[in-house]
Amino acid sequence: MTQANNASIESLLAETRVFQPPAPDTLGFKAPGGRGPRGWHIHSLEEFKRLHKRSIENPEGFWAEEARTVEWFAPWTRVLDWKAPDARWFVDAKLNVCHNCVDRHVSAGYGDETAIVWEGEPLGVRTGHPAPGSKYAKTPEIKRLTYRQVQSEVCRLANALKALGVKKGDVVTLYMPMVPELAIACLACARIGAPHSVIFGGFAAQAIVERVEDARSKVIITADGGYRRGDVVKLKDAVDQACAKTSLVKDVLVLRRTGHAVQWHDGSAGGKRDHWWHETVPKMSDQCPCEPMDAEDMLFLLYTSGSTGKPKGIVHTTAGYLVFVQMTARLAFNLIPSSGQLFWCSADIGWVTGHSYVLYGAMANRVATLIYEGAPNFPDNARFWDIIERHKVTQFYTAPTAIRSFMKWGTEFPARHDLSSLKVLGTVGEPINPEAWIWYHEHVGGARCPIVDTYWQTETGGHVITPLPGAVPTKPGSCTLPMLGVDAAVVNEQGEELPPDRGGLLVIRKPWPGMLRGIFRDPDRYVQAYWSRVFGKGAGGERTPYYFSADGARRDKDGYFWVMGRVDDVINVSGHRLGTMEVESALVSHPAVAEAAVVGMPHAIKGTGICAFVTLKSEFLRTLPGHPDDAVRKALSDHVVREIGAIARPDSIRFADGLPKTRSGKIMRRLLRDVAAGVEKITQDTTTLEDFSVVARLRESDEE
């Protein structure tokens, strides 16, 4: 594994291939280049570069122009109010995101166009006969919702939330499977101005407790369960466990999806706590006005991992986020309304990619979005290709880790399917190795679809570095050039831009509308995490902080960005962002563990795997005959899954008598990373090591 990964890094450094964008008409897009009522469509590199330059020289002019592509209830008085690190975009303006994603399309006469196409995971549950064009013997459940249907469902749910006492500004927690009701729930929250906090269904009860308490959220929307690789994921059970640990939650609205038996609870103050969706929501009126929101009112909160054990509640607000995701979705995927496109982003709505592109980006652009409930390998390894063929997906957006799994499964699976509907492919979540890029290009894209390798983060709201499919030549492994209006750079610790091919820190030098506005209830951490590391010069030569991404990168002679990965204690495991400290906290909460250190290690499929170094308590060791064995490993690993979720299951647990520390007591993570990666010669300066012999013993503890 290590070898494969080192080989990938080398091939990334040696990559020289360039793929020209296809001619716009061969992409099958009707939109002309230049600026139309829906904003820019860009069909050449020259046009893109010219516009980018303009957008950086005059950001307020650029964004004011772009902002005309959304509908406002009241105009702004200033485009930007920037007092680093606090940005206010479209000051004083009023609007509603749900209005822009749903109502404006219905009012403009597009109510009968498809908004959402949904496919459940199980086959043959409802109808038992094959879907047209399917290579499977039984058909999955499929739902299609028009904008008009979405509008009435959203209104009913919005009224149900109001009936539960939810008011503007109250955070509503969503913990749901990938069903249309999750999209409806987000939109209903946006409609009434109640920020949503979506928790990925793969997280465990403890994660719900932490997030609910931090957000002070009193209402949870969940489901009895969801389907994943043929199993039922019991979401309601996890919510019950969470509610047993916090008295904050007053109401739980439960969607019936799987139909298995669930427990039913009353509220702590008497009265009902749990309510069935199907008994509550359909009774409500399908009329509910969109709340006029201030441009800077919070749209949602999304918890993500940082360098400490506690996840950060990333705050996104209304206007800037909407303008930014609408533009980036349109440009990066070439979204054209009423052109029969079907956009499929395979990310879960529980992650930012699902928020910005499954949901808001696609719907703001009035392009149908496909939501698939389950796993790519159910009932077999061709499920995604079967979906693309049957539904005629035009843009497909997934993660490098998924592509590496597809590669491992073999070319015969995509080859069995007609993928000719595809026009644009996208990837996100981690650096893509050129081998995976080329495989994706050939076996999924038929060597004809441009690949957009989109670099961004929960904090950036939307794409900040990405090719535009009809304009920017691509190089496998590079996310190419910054998005319009985004001033990204690779700098040294002093904030000076580095010459080509020198590795440095990836920063953004000017505010952009999609940027986070803060960390919920933690302004100091906001400053410390993003705005205290790198400083440069502002417009008037004054010292100003740059947004620090915590990623390392280099630019090549063409100005293309090559992201090398995180420089902090965050790891991207199968494209899922995790903090090593979170896994450490989970490990030390086990009674047998004295100390734990967690680092990323190269992994052929996941990109980064989780390696935990653990010292056990001596009293625990005494109870064990001989050495800690696989049973202890399994117990610790299961404990982490219970505490955080299956995405955090360690790939390797190594036992040690002690962890290498500096004299001031800090764990030497860089050194542990080298040990985890199996680096033969420990390159780091180890003179500050408290006890060098620890390293030798750590290496001997390798479980293989």
Question: Does residue 572 bind ligand WTA (CB under 6 A)?
Answer: yes
Cβ nearer to ligand WTA, comparing 180 with 431: 431
Residue 37, Cβ density class (10 Å: 0-12 exposed, 13-18 middle, ≥19 buried): exposed
Question: Does residue 433 bind ligand WTA (CB under 6 A)?
Answer: no
Cβ nearer to ligand WTA, comparing 568 with 595: 568
Which residue number has the CB closest to ligand WTA?
A: 458
Question: Does residue 455 bind ligand WTA (CB under 6 A)?
Answer: yes
Question: Does residue 608 bind ligand WTA (CB under 6 A)?
Answer: no
- Report, in Å, the least distance between residue 428 CB and ligand WTA: 5
Residue 632 CA to residue 387 CA, distance in Å, equals: 41
Instruction: Among 12, 349, 362, 428, indicate the residue that binds ligand WTA (CB under 6 A).
Output: 428
Cβ nearer to ligand WTA, comparing 206 with 304: 304
Residue 43 CA to residue 32 CA, distance in Å, equals: 8
Residue 94 CA to residue 110 CA, distance in Å, equals: 24
> 428 near 397, Cβ under 8 Å?
yes
Instruction: Among 353, 401, 421, 474, indicate the residue that binds ligand WTA (CB under 6 A).
Output: 353
Question: Does residue 386 bind ligand WTA (CB under 6 A)?
Answer: no
From 118-126, 562-570, 633-641, 656-664, give the range in contact with ligand WTA by CB under 6 A.
Answer: 562-570
Cβ nearer to ligand WTA, comparing 80 with 327: 327
Residue 275 CA to residue 284 CA, distance in Å, equals: 14
Cβ nearer to ligand WTA, comparing 341 with 572: 572
What single DSSP character describes residue 667? B
Cβ nearer to ligand WTA, comparing 645 with 660: 645
From 22-30, 176-184, 350-358, 497-505, give the range in contact with ligand WTA by CB under 6 A.
Answer: 350-358
Cβ nearer to ligand WTA, comparing 209 with 428: 428
Question: How do strand 114-123 and strand 140-146 relate by DSSP bridges?
Answer: antiparallel
- Report, in Å, the least distance between residue 505 CB and ligand WTA: 12
From 129-137, 277-285, 349-357, 390-398, give the range in contact with ligand WTA by CB under 6 A.
Answer: 349-357
- Interaction with ligand WTA in 247-306: which residues (CB under 6 A)? 304
Instruction: Among 15, 119, 170, 551, indicate the residue that binds ligand WTA (CB under 6 A).
Output: 551
- Report, in Å, the least distance between residue 429 CB and ligand WTA: 5
Phi, psi of 371 (to 5 degrees): -120, 125
Question: Does residue 565 bind ligand WTA (CB under 6 A)?
Answer: yes
Instruction: Among 157, 315, 515, 563, indicate the residue that binds ligand WTA (CB under 6 A).
Output: 563
**DSSP codes joined into one string, 537-599:** E-TTS-EEEPEEEEEEEEE-TT--EEEEEESSSEEEETTEEEEHHHHHHHHHTSTTEEEEEEE
Instruction: Among 328, 433, 454, 574, indicate the residue that binds ligand WTA (CB under 6 A).
Output: 454
Name the one residue in this structure whose structure tokens are 């290498």.
660
- Report, in Å, the least distance between residue 129 CB and ligand WTA: 39
Angle between helices 630-643 and 580-588 (to 10 degrees): 120
Cβ nearer to ligand WTA, comparing 89 with 456: 456
Instruction: Among 150, 479, 516, 644, indicate the residue that binds ligand WTA (CB under 6 A).
Output: 479
List 231's β-bridge partners, or say none: 228
Residue 523 CA to residue 218 CA, distance in Å, equals: 23
Instruction: Among 120, 311, 374, 429, indicate the residue that binds ligand WTA (CB under 6 A).
Output: 429
Question: Token pair for residue 145?
Answer: 């919702």
Cβ nearer to ligand WTA, comparing 151 with 480: 480
- At residue 691, the 3 state secondary structure works out as coil
Cβ nearer to ligand WTA, comparing 378 with 397: 397
Question: Token pair for residue 503?
Answer: 């590795």
Question: Does residue 458 bind ligand WTA (CB under 6 A)?
Answer: yes
> 400 near 429, Cβ under 8 Å?
yes
CA distances from 259 to 47, 137, 141 (A): 54, 24, 15
Question: Does residue 503 bind ligand WTA (CB under 6 A)?
Answer: no
Question: Does residue 452 bind ligand WTA (CB under 6 A)?
Answer: no
- Report, in Å, the least distance between residue 8 CB and ligand WTA: 13
Dihedral over Cα of 672, 547, 357, 134: its sign: negative
- Interaction with ligand WTA in 101-140: which residues (CB under 6 A)? none
Q: What is the longest distance spanned by two Cα atoms in the chain?
A: 74
- Report, in Å, the least distance between residue 388 CB and ligand WTA: 21
Instruction: Among 15, 430, 487, 569, indicate the residue that binds ligand WTA (CB under 6 A).
Output: 430
Question: Token pair for residue 694?
Answer: 């620890």
CA distances from 96 to 37, 188, 205, 301 (A): 20, 11, 32, 16
- Report, in Å, the least distance between residue 424 CB and ligand WTA: 15
Query: What's the Rg (C-alpha) of the chain?
Result: 25
For ligand WTA, how many residues bind (rule: CB under 6 A)? 22
Question: Token pair for residue 629?
Answer: 């064995």
387: left (phi over 0), alpha (psi -120 to 50) or beta: alpha
> 476 near 432, Cβ under 8 Å?
yes
- Report, in Å, the least distance between residue 614 CB and ligand WTA: 26
Question: Does residue 566 bind ligand WTA (CB under 6 A)?
Answer: yes
What single DSSP character describes residue 219? E
Question: How do strand 172-175 and strand 196-198 relate by DSSP bridges?
Answer: parallel
Residues recorded for the chain: 704
Cβ nearer to ligand WTA, comparing 105 with 566: 566
Cβ nearer to ligand WTA, comparing 334 with 572: 572
Nearby residues of 412 by Cβ (< 8 Å), 6 or more positions away:
none
- Report, in Å, the least distance between residue 177 CB and ligand WTA: 20
- At residue 328, the 3 state secondary structure works out as helix
Question: Does residue 431 bind ligand WTA (CB under 6 A)?
Answer: yes
Question: Does residue 457 bind ligand WTA (CB under 6 A)?
Answer: yes
> 219 near 166, Cβ under 8 Å?
yes
Rule CB under 6 A: which residues touch ligand WTA? 304, 351-353, 428-431, 453-458, 479, 549, 551, 563, 565-566, 572, 577
